[in-house]
Amino acid sequence: MQTPHPSLGGLWLPLITPFRDGALDEASLRRLVRHYAAEPLDGLILAATTGEGLTLDDDETERLVAITADTLAAAGRRLPVFLGLSGSDTRKMAKALDTTAGWPVDGYLIACPYYTRPSQDGMVRHFTALAGATARPIVIYNIPYRTGVNLGNAAMLELAALPTIAGVKDCSADMAQSFDLLRRKPADFAVLTGEDAFFHPMLNQGAEGGITASAHIRTRDFAAVRDLVRAGDAAKALAAWHALSELPPLLFAEPSPAPIKHWLWRDGLIDSPEVRLPMTAVTAGLAARIERAVAA
């Protein structure tokens, strides 16, 4: 029987990683974590796609985790923290799990192997090996339009039977696949949507929550949608979602996380909107749109 992971529901934030002059901006990171520690979030994801994890070296990633843990402790907030990992070599991924075993994280968000496009059987074996390499819960990150391969529901349900496979960040971009998974999944396997624009409809269909980059902005409004759906107040939940629905398209109008970082910078939460190549800053046109939204 799978070990329950009740903390995997609700609103999770894939935290951006602030940079300044090419380095990890530790002052801005502490400010960010203090800010979100006071928000009604259910968890944080570090060093994932929104956190530009592929551009971080090992020392920076370890420092990112340590600062976040220290800042949460100082704020008195016990907020689950998962670490984003990705790679296409199962042995290296298992080594990463071993390397981070002593780090203050509660679990992992692990993307499907990218570029190599393994078979369904290959992905089952990959995640089975990783599930056996850690006692911490793993959330599978299924995002075919980035990795080039889609983990289908038959394979997903096979993996869901493993004790440390706790859920999926679902970015399949196929609503039929997502709804089918929601109908067939075991009760203790969490489906968290990673498509910000689908946050409300996925919750309505029974998803446990979302890993929602747009919730960097108007966090409490996203949490209100979560709470109203949980309370069964469909009309108010829909109205709350309608008030938010223009935000994800704005924040994803250009490659993420540059638009989010620009907003946070203009809002004073980070000292620079800097991103690392190959990501680039927002265009002047989008910057103007964001600044109008910040002012509003």
pLDDT in tens, 238-250: 999 999 999 999 9
State yes or no: is 169 an active-site residue: yes
Residue of 36, 108, 141, 261 marked active site: 141
Question: pLDDT grade, residue 7 (50/70/90)?
Answer: low
| Contact (CB, 8 A) for 145 and 119 | no
Residue 270 in marked binding region: no
Question: pLDDT grade, residue 262 (50/70/90)?
Answer: very high
pLDDT in tens, 65-111: 999 999 999 999 999 999 999 999 999 999 999 999 999 999 999 99
By the 10 Å C-beta count (0-12 exposed, 13-18 middle, 19+ buried), 17 is classed as buried
97 φψ region: left (φ > 0), alpha (ψ -120 to 50), beta (else): alpha
State yes or no: is 108 an active-site residue: no
Residue of 108, 169, 185, 261 marked active site: 169
Has residue 6 got a pLDDT over 80?
Answer: no
Question: What is the fold, at CATH topology level, of the domain defined by 7-243?
Answer: TIM Barrel (3.20.20)
Can you say whether the dihedral through the CA atoms of 283, 286, 288, 293 is positive or negative? negative
